[in-house]
Amino acid sequence: MLIKCPKCQTVYTLNDDVVSKDGIKMRCSKCGEVFKAYPEDAFKEPEPKQKDVSYAKIFEPFSKTTEEMFRPNLPQKVRVVRLTRYKNTINYLLLLALLALVFALLYLTRFDIVRYVPKAEALYQKFGIEALKDGFTLDFENVVSQEFVADSVSHIKITGIIKNGSKYVMRVPPVQIVVYNAQGKELMRMVHILAQKKINPEYKIPFEIVFPNPTPEQKNINVSFNDKVLKGK
């Protein structure tokens, strides 16, 4: 049974057979009160009343607040910032790799781009990139040499056609002319730069070159392209 001190209300637990009908004399260990306890003074501790739990009411205050409910501590914030910087670095690297790939494709396909978009050649030249193929694979057609006299000076005139049989725009190289005598000895060598600097695919351009005749004897003339002039530029 439970006995309560009448002064300080301290509760004591006693066996039922200890308290007789005549009562039992007790001293409160807390306040020192001396009192007599009887069986009818005993009482039972009330059972706690179960309350109905309303989850809606529990979370209702949180639905009305605009403040952050859960705030990470400082180490977590530092880790989040570092992870964000790491992702940004990866994004920048991917962007640089993509730009490098685009520039590489533009460089490797520059001849085809100029073929379909001739104005792109000027853009390549601004960046110092040659976008025309060297025309050393161009062909000569109908090359004819003719000797004549003008102002009492003997001359040789060479005419012909340069043909571009490829699918690319070609740069017209300088034309080299070498004159040999009948014994194969070189008499003269000259390089002539044509006025037209490039030739489109499947196009032909005529040329005419006049130079002084070195000797009246019979001679052989060789016409070709000179790549040394281009390489020396």
Tell how many helices (H) and how many strands (E) occur in the chain. Answer: 5, 13
Total residues belonging to the chain: 233
What is the mean predicted confidence (pLDDT) over 177-198? Answer: 90
Given this model, what pLDDT does residue 229 score? 44
- Round to whole Å and give the CA distance between 172 and 17: 129
**Domain at 164, CATH number:** 2.70.50.60
What confidence tens digit (pLDDT) does each residue in 14-56 have?
777 777 777 788 888 888 888 888 888 777 666 555 555 565 6
- Round to whole Å and give the CA distance between 171 and 232: 15
* pLDDT at residue 80 is higher than 60: no
- Domain for residue 205, yes or no? yes
3-state SS of 47-116?
CCCCCCCCHHHHHHHHHHCCCCCCCCCHHHHHHHHHHHHHHHHHHHHHHHHHHHHHHHHHHHCHHHHHHH
Domain span including residue 138: 133-231
CB 62 within 8 A of CB 69: yes
With a pLDDT cut of 70, the percent of the chain lying above it is 79
* pLDDT at residue 145 is higher than 80: yes
- Angle, alpha carbons 166-169-171 (nearest 5°): 105
Domain count, the chain: 2
Q: Which residues pair with 147 in a beta bridge?
A: 156
Given this model, what pLDDT does residue 214 score? 85
- For all residues of the chain together, what is the average pLDDT? 80
Output the pTM of the full model.
Answer: 0.49
What confidence tens digit (pLDDT) does each residue in 94-110 have?
999 999 999 899 888 88
* pLDDT at residue 170 is higher than 70: yes
